[in-house]
Amino acid sequence: MVVTQAGHKKRWSVLAAAGLRGQVRLLHVRAGFCCGIIRAHKKAIATLCFSPTHETYLFTASYDKRIILWDIGVPKEDYTFQASQLLTLDTTSTPLRLSPVASCPDAYLLAGCEGGCCCWDVRLDQPQKRRVCEVEFVFSEGSEARGQRVDGLAFVNEDVVGE
């Protein structure tokens, strides 16, 4: 959504791109220009995803072993953004894939990390703004697991996650 001078809201699409510098660039899809930069992390960003239920919420995951939830806000008429940091999630290894839990996307976030999968409660009605992993599924230490990476996450149903 964009707020016009008259105060009306207009739908539009934004693309978020990130990489080695730890910055997120917000791109206006139709006009083809960068309309905002978020200095999100000190290390490279491994992955990011928008919330399926809050169109202005963006999760960024970095090699600094942190996931940050941002509210990029509604752009002004000149397409500038004012992003605010809502939540920081700590991981034990680098997060490579992010997926809001399908049955309750406002409540939980699942991350596929180098060492396994982690899950956090991301509800914003709780006072602590920095959280550790609540549930962790660790890859086995056997020789087959060395170098194992999560290259995708999918919910088969409410109880089963495929990676």
| Per-residue pLDDT tens digits for 43-52 | 999 999 999 9
| Measured distance CA(73)–CA(70) in Å, rounded | 9
Q: Are strands 84-90 and 130-132 parallel, antiparallel or unpaired?
A: parallel
Structural domains present in the chain: 2-162 (2.130.10.10)
Lowest mean pLDDT across 25-39, 55-69, 141-155: 141-155
| Separation between Cα atoms, residue 113 and residue 150, nearest integer Å | 7
Residue 90's identity, in one-letter code, is D
β 33-39/9-10 pair status: unpaired
Each residue of 80-133: pLDDT tens digit? 788 999 999 999 899 999 988 877 888 899 999 888 889 999 999 988 999 999
- What's the rounded mean pLDDT across residues 13-21? 91
Res 146: pLDDT: 55
Phi-psi region of 158 (alpha: psi -120 to 50; beta: other; left: phi over 0): alpha
Residue of 56, 54, 3, 67 whose CA lies nearest to 26: 56
Two structure tokens written together for 37: 């930069």
